[in-house]
Chain A
């Protein structure tokens, strides 16, 4: 059983002229295999930074992050990041975008195409294998980005507000799609969002972060059966509880500034 452990992590950015900015202070959390965990917090609370630390794209300033007991220092095939606004390579078609990670890790060509085909079939993108990103809608691009992350069978998918740039209708469809992927691929997802509804709809557990410097304020388990409905009274109870947290943090953040 694999797990991602964030233990008392701090992150300080060194700016010019000896100034430093504290992005994360003493944050701890744990994600176990198969879980769907959402990190919820106001803009600029360091939640994206926390994800980049987990992905090994940045180094922690204090504390440690480990995957299966091994400290994360560099990018790691076990934890792959999916960014806001897809970040597909515009010069590669869908199948080459999806196969990019396998190519970088020098997977044999035959095996690479077999895995790419397999993932494209499972996420129903085969028809678009030869399309280029600019020929796809926003939702389709994000599906390709998710397929690209899935193809290497990572243990953790780290998603940084992946649906924030989409319109409401597309976002609803993508949230549904992500839940299907999560169930179908038995993946483990750490999902950053600033939208309360999205967190309650998707996650097993919501980790609430404070305004900068980011700290973990509370963890709330969402004990609602799936599929969840946003109009359910119990859903609303979670929404109210999280909204009061967020309001407090936003106001607090405004005072600090």
Chain B
């Protein structure tokens, strides 16, 4: 793990070196594309604070705010989707009543829910969490239903031969069997959810890492824009790495 992380760092170091070289030799405009040496110095000199007055915030707080929103939204979405998916799979009535609606709502991009969130929840964390939640919930509900259908029938027969009741089969066989597959879908959809949080921060929430980029634009400060973009990338990468770690350590089993 540590070795592969180091290996992943090499191309990044090469890119940064090239970027610095291009800036030093004047191959590209340092005003529009300030290199890392410039915007990192800028961050240190401004004491990791950006914005003024009401819009002022420190960079670590911004990162924590964004990461908290996306992690909460993913967690709630995952739990609710697995619960809905299993409930729907257990009952023909629920399946007929709920699945068509879920299918209809699943294709809506999470960004489209931002105005709805702002109207319903106002400007604040609940809106961002709502946007992430809706971004993953419908898709994960559908993938839970699909995962339930693909549970190995031998496992279910085995449970029945050992006297498991229907309820026990759902709790002890189907539920653990579908978790890894649904979690994989969660990871795949994380990036869309992450983008939705940033967009929500840019258009309405006025804080978090998305806001750093907007502040940079408003203040005509390319250092701030580049800094914001880099923080978004690194934070997204870190959350994805966390999800991968959960998958490997907690939900590691695959159907055989």
| Contacts from A to B (Cβ < 8 Å) | 52, 55-57, 75, 77, 80-81, 83, 85, 87, 89-91, 100-101, 103-105, 132-134, 148, 152
8 new A-B contacts at CB < 8 Å, known A52-B157, A90-B254, A100-B172: A75-B163, A81-B158, A83-B154, A85-B256, A91-B176, A91-B177, A104-B163, A152-B162
Q: A87-B152, A89-B173, A101-B163 are in contact. Are A134 and B253 (CB under 8 A)?
A: yes
Contact (Cβ within 8 A) A77 B176: no
C-alpha gap A91/B255 in the complex (Å) = 9
C-alpha gap A132/B252 in the complex (Å) = 11
- Highest count of chain A CB atoms <10 Å: which of B152, B161, B176: B161
Q: Which residue of B159, B160, B165, B255 is within 8 Å of A90 (Cβ)?
A: B255
C-alpha gap A57/B165 in the complex (Å) = 12
C-alpha gap A134/B196 in the complex (Å) = 38
Q: A81-B157, A134-B256 are in contact. Are A89 and B162 (CB under 8 A)?
A: no
With a cutoff of 8 Å between Cβ atoms, the chain A residues found around residue B168 in the complex are 104
With a cutoff of 8 Å between Cβ atoms, the chain A residues found around residue B177 in the complex are 91
- Highest count of chain A CB atoms <10 Å: which of B158, B177, B253: B158
Contact (Cβ within 8 A) A104 B162: yes
C-alpha gap A134/B168 in the complex (Å) = 24
With a cutoff of 8 Å between Cβ atoms, the chain A residues found around residue B255 in the complex are 90
Q: A89-B155, A91-B253 are in contact. Are A77 and B163 (CB under 8 A)?
A: yes
4 shortest interchain CB distances as A-B pairs: A101-B162, A87-B154, A90-B253, A81-B161
C-alpha gap A35/B155 in the complex (Å) = 28
Contact (Cβ within 8 A) A80 B161: yes
B164 at the A/B interface (Cβ < 8 Å)? yes
Contact (Cβ within 8 A) B160 A57: yes
Minimal beta-carbon separation of B252 from chain A (angstroms):
9
With a cutoff of 8 Å between Cβ atoms, the chain A residues found around residue B253 in the complex are 90-91, 132, 134
With a cutoff of 8 Å between Cβ atoms, the chain B residues found around residue A90 in the complex are 253-256
- Highest count of chain B CB atoms <10 Å: which of A83, A87, A152: A87
With a cutoff of 8 Å between Cβ atoms, the chain B residues found around residue A75 in the complex are 160-163
With a cutoff of 8 Å between Cβ atoms, the chain B residues found around residue A132 in the complex are 253
